[in-house]
Amino acid sequence: MKITVVGTGYVGLVTGTCLAETGNHVCCVDIDERKVNKLRNGQITIYEPGLEKLFERNLKEERLSFTTDLKEGLEDSEIVFLALPTPPGEDGSADLKYVLGVADHIGKLLKDYKIIIDKSTVPVGTAEKVHAAIAKNYNGEFDVVSNPEFLREGVAVEDFMKPDRIVIGTTSERAKVLLTELYGPYVRQGNPIIFMDERSAELTKYAANAFLATKISFMNEIAQMCERLGADVDMVRKGIGSDERIGKRFLFPGIGYGGSCFPKDVKALVYSAKEVAYDFAILDAVTEVNERQKIHLVSKIRRYFNNDLAGKKFAVWGLAFKPNTDDIREAPSLEIISALLESGASVCAFDPEAVNNVKQIFGDRINFAETQYDCIENADALIVATEWNEFRTPDFDKILSLLKDPVIFDGRNVFDVQVMEKKGFHYESIGRSS
């Protein structure tokens, strides 16, 4: 099939590349000329494990192409994915200017039947708005479908190639047939394609993310209780997770959820609820707990240093909002670093992928180390902010010899409490007695 993907961010580039991988011809369109030139020249613009190899192969075999010209991108294609940003406004609402702007443009260019697919996370009712924006300038046949993306950064290729499910919101039989064919190779194991109406599909995406965010905030509150009651959150997590109704996954407490999706989507759903005069009480609490949790580790640090952080040097391991990505959007590490700097402390940070992105925020207000060990030299304490695998079994003796004092604040519970005690560290983590 010939496919167009508009927008080459995380979702667009993964979608385009993975659709090309099964033999489709995909043209990706983006207004950012520099980005398009880079991609055309075989330079990948995001870090996503496994993506580069697929990207290079499909580019070489000419199944994947890039352009800034929407007209050229749409030529001969039957299916058009919109993978555009929907940035949050001050009030939490999702801004649809990019989605509707492109829809308007598509309306002016359409000549024959196409399926226009909303891949971005968009508020309920957007498919109707996109339909209206296209219909303003085109009165032929076309379908607008909601097909939300559930991929996770860091495992996006795997998630795309073998999705748990594919949700397709459309009542058009023609679109259903074409999309069943398109997604056939991705659901060979028998995972379902779930058809529903557009509005339900749009809400499904928000419900999924809001539910997962709720799970995390709930566990962060249980961790707070564990700290106060002398219980161990790892044990409680295992104890409840073995109940299939709860499930083992997504129960890890930490320093709060970040990324480009959960914080934005939870707020957008609260906003949608307000618009229909409903008070979505749980979700307000989910956001509040997350904000509290982001600075929880800083409170522990302040307590340990008797509220005097001026002149102290902190080593921070991990900057990305989670491992296996260079994405720092809403990363808890940023708030922790800002709080330390405001208190007069200095920071040296290490991250395997996200340093360049963080440099754009803090400039030379913090130092960056080439290795995780350079980072801790002479530091008053080590802070673990992202659970990259390479932090899990470090050389503790080396850490002991490099740190000024053997103090570790672990926001991701990567180390074993007993091991740390035996090694002689002052070790504080989340929801576990130390």
Residues that bind ligand UGA (CB under 6 A): 121, 149-153, 209, 212, 216, 250-252, 254, 257-259, 261-262, 321-322
CB of residue 225 to ligand UGA, shortest distance in Å: 17
Q: Which burial class, exposed, middle or buried, applies to 279 when counting CB atoms under 10 A from its CB (0-12, 13-18, 19+)?
A: exposed
CB of residue 262 to ligand UGA, shortest distance in Å: 5
Q: Is 254 annotated as a binding residue?
A: yes
Q: Which burial class, exposed, middle or buried, applies to 25 when counting CB atoms under 10 A from its CB (0-12, 13-18, 19+)?
A: middle
Q: Is 248 annotated as a binding residue?
A: no
Choose between 55 and 262: whose C-beta lies nearer to ligand UGA: 262
Q: Is 423 annotated as a binding residue?
A: no
Cα distance between residue 355 and residue 357, in whole Å: 5
Q: Radius of gyration (Cα) for the chain, nearest Å? A: 24
Q: Is 258 annotated as a binding residue?
A: yes
In b/e form, how buried is each residue of 147-160, taking b as 16+ CB within 10 angstroms?
Answer: bbbbbebbebbebb
CB of residue 325 to ligand UGA, shortest distance in Å: 7
**Active-site hit among 18, 261, 348, 375:** 261
Choose between 94 and 133: whose C-beta lies nearer to ligand UGA: 94
CB of residue 144 to ligand UGA, shortest distance in Å: 20
Whether residue 386 contacts residue 333, with contact meaning beta carbons closer than 8 Å, is answered with: yes
Question: For 415, how many CA atoms within 13 A lie in the half-sphere containing its CB?
Answer: 28
The three-state secondary structure class of 247 is coil
Q: Is 264 annotated as a binding residue?
A: yes
Is position 261 annotated as part of the catalytic site? yes
Alpha-carbon dihedral sign for residues 276, 260, 80, 149:
negative
Choose between 299 and 307: whose C-beta lies nearer to ligand UGA: 299
Which of these, 280, 278, 282, 300, lies nearest to 290 by C-alpha position? 282
Q: Which burial class, exposed, middle or buried, applies to 308 when counting CB atoms under 10 A from its CB (0-12, 13-18, 19+)?
A: exposed
The three-state secondary structure class of 253 is coil
Whether residue 312 contacts residue 404, with contact meaning beta carbons closer than 8 Å, is answered with: no
Strand partners, 146: 118, 169
CB of residue 396 to ligand UGA, shortest distance in Å: 24
CB of residue 227 to ligand UGA, shortest distance in Å: 16
Choose between 149 and 198: whose C-beta lies nearer to ligand UGA: 149
CB of residue 216 to ligand UGA, shortest distance in Å: 5
Cα distance between residue 51 and residue 42, in whole Å: 12
CB of residue 24 to ligand UGA, shortest distance in Å: 21
Q: Is 350 annotated as a binding residue?
A: no
Choose between 21 and 265: whose C-beta lies nearer to ligand UGA: 265
Q: Is 86 annotated as a binding residue?
A: yes
Choose between 122 and 379: whose C-beta lies nearer to ligand UGA: 122
Tokens of 196: 């529903």
Q: Please report which residue ranges of 170-280 form alpha helices under DSSP H.
A: 173-183, 198-229, 233-241, 262-275
Choose between 12 and 258: whose C-beta lies nearer to ligand UGA: 258
H, E, C per residue of 26-92: EEEECCCHHHHHHHHCCCCCCCCCCHHHHHHHHHHCCCEEEECCHHHHHCCCCEEEECCCCCECCCC
Q: Is 30 annotated as a binding residue?
A: yes
Q: Is 398 annotated as a binding residue?
A: no
The three-point CA angle 183-186-189 to 5° equals 125
Q: Is 404 annotated as a binding residue?
A: no
Choose between 166 and 379: whose C-beta lies nearer to ligand UGA: 166
As annotated, the active-site residues are: 261
Annotated binding site: 30, 35, 86, 121, 150-153, 205, 250-254, 258, 264, 322, 329
Annotated binding site for NAD(+): 30, 35, 86, 121, 153, 264, 329
Annotated binding site for substrate: 150-153, 205, 250-254, 258, 322
